[in-house]
Amino acid sequence: MAINTLNPATGEKLRRYREHTPRQCELAVARAQKAFTDWRRTSMAHRSARLRALARELHRHRAEYAALATAEMGKPVTQALAEVEKSALGCNFYAEHGAAYLADAHPAGAPAHRYVTYQPLGVLLAIMPWNFPFWQIYRIAAPALMAGNTVLLKHAANVTGCALLIEKSFQRAGFPRGVFQSLVLGPAPASALVQHPGIAAVTFTGSTATGQKIATLAGTTMKKCVFELGGSDPYLVLADADLALAAEMCAAARLYNNGQSCVAAKRLIVVESVRAKFETLLVRRLAARCSGDPRAATTDLGPLSRADLRDRLHAQVKASVRRGAKLLLGGYVPAGPGFYYPPTALTGVRPGMPAYDEEVFGPVAAVISAKNEADAIRLANDTPYGLGAAVFTRDRERGERIAREQLDCGNAFVNEFVRSHPALPFGGVKQSGHGRELGAWGLREFVNTKTVSVS
């Protein structure tokens, strides 16, 4: 079997890759297991040095990495460069703090001769999506490797070139053979690998439906898993909000990465008394974004990553309009090559419409009217997802109370849009998954937290 990658800006073929055979996958697992026996014995200082070398590799060749992400999935090149730099930041973060996070602990109240140690689990299988083809990988691999594990990557097929370049980056940084490997596989969820006895744990980022299938497979062998799944993030705009700020932040969050982010501003829940003014400001800011060739430094919005994703997005918009939503902007498939979709805004969005009920993965903002603050919070939590949320209000204490206590999500922001940081845990609740990435929390997901007693 073969994988063909396409340029989403033109629809033209980029490269053809031959898939790894089951035998090749089996050998890769064996290499990862063998590498683990040696890698786990290396010192924290040695692992840290390799991660710092990896960060230097990413920074030094950032233009090469960014150009490939732009070519394979359509990310505007300025955002691709920022993603590569963030990946380097994550590697340096774990190089600096990983040893302290993994130091033996003596919990308060525990007997003096007992302590807690963190030991690596083994081979981690990372099944990753295409939307952040570098950051998604390094934010998983850096803590896993710092902890002494080895990693097998099953990346999304449409970013196969990125997957192979990532493997090369570890080689360039001096990591031993087998510590990090990329498997070239099609869109299937790698069922055999998930259940392989040589795989100790699984991390998956992607759709909730696929996550549920992987969870079922992993459950049969009791493998440790972390899932970062879908999201339909609510952004609450209260009556006292700075509407210019809210409109700018919502537009930026909705269109970032061509609207293809789990923590994009998908449902804009606006108190009715300020809805009309907010919509005017929002449409103005959405329309001002520059759409075009993602290789251009002036481009804010590139194409969607695949034709089928654009088809699904447009179907969700049309179905929402048929059920009573009103188009304020966009909502059409443009003529010409590539998988472009314009900035789009819907108002009058209600339950029963795809723009309300489903994850909308593209540059489509859904405005939902709320009667007041309490109603806005109710609507925000009226979703099976719980990844991120934001609230806009001039009263910072009010915003913090809502974010801290009343929004059902893993990441709640006040007067800014949701994004991850290497030092802070990232993940969701409900059908947005479980477990956490990043920070000390992500580092300790794939270790054996072991109690040791010496008397």
**Domain shared by 144 and 267, yes or no:** no
pLDDT in tens, 85-127: 999 999 999 999 999 999 999 999 999 999 999 999 999 999 9
Please tell me the distance from the alpha carbon of residue 339 to that of residue 359, in angstroms, as a whole number.
Answer: 19
Please tell me the distance from the alpha carbon of residue 157 to that of residue 190, in angstroms, as a whole number.
Answer: 12
The DSSP string of 179-223 is: SEEEE---SS--HHHHT-TT--EEEEES-HHHHHHHHHHHHHTT-
Indicate the Cα dihedral angle 78, 81, 83, 88, nearest 10°.
-160
Could you tell me if residue 117 is inside a domain? yes
Could you tell me if residue 83 is inside a domain? yes
Mean pLDDT (whole number) for 50-64: 98
Please tell me the distance from the alpha carbon of residue 258 to that of residue 363, in angstroms, as a whole number.
Answer: 6
Could you tell me if residue 21 is inside a domain? yes
For tokens 């980029």, what's the residue?
14
**Domain shared by 354 and 209, yes or no:** no
Could you tell me if residue 314 is inside a domain? yes
- Split at pLDDT 50, 70, 90, the class of 189 is low
Q: Which residues constitute the domain of residue 269?
A: 234-414
The DSSP string of 331-387 is: -S--SSSS-----EEEES--TTSHHHHS---SSEEEEEEESSHHHHHHHHH-SS--S
Please tell me the distance from the alpha carbon of residue 177 to that of residue 39, in angstroms, as a whole number.
Answer: 10
> What is the count of structural domains for the chain?
2
**Domain shared by 220 and 352, yes or no:** no
Mean pLDDT (whole number) for 370-376: 98
Residue 243 has pLDDT above 80, yes or no: yes
Q: Kindly report the CA angle at 43 between 38 and 44, in degrees rounded to 5?
A: 125
CATH code for the domain in which residue 271 is found: 3.40.309.10
Q: So what's the pLDDT on residue 1?
A: 81
Model confidence, pTM: 0.97
**Domain shared by 186 and 333, yes or no:** no
**Domain shared by 162 and 257, yes or no:** no
Could you tell me if residue 420 is inside a domain? no
**Domain shared by 162 and 254, yes or no:** no
Please tell me the distance from the alpha carbon of residue 310 to that of residue 291, in angstroms, as a whole number.
Answer: 15
**Domain shared by 255 and 297, yes or no:** yes
Which residues are catalytically annotated? 228, 262
pLDDT in tens, 129-171: 999 999 999 999 999 999 999 999 999 999 999 999 999 999 9
**Domain shared by 220 and 331, yes or no:** no
**Domain shared by 222 and 315, yes or no:** no
**Domain shared by 222 and 238, yes or no:** no
Could you tell me if residue 422 is inside a domain? no
For tokens 């309300």, what's the residue?
356
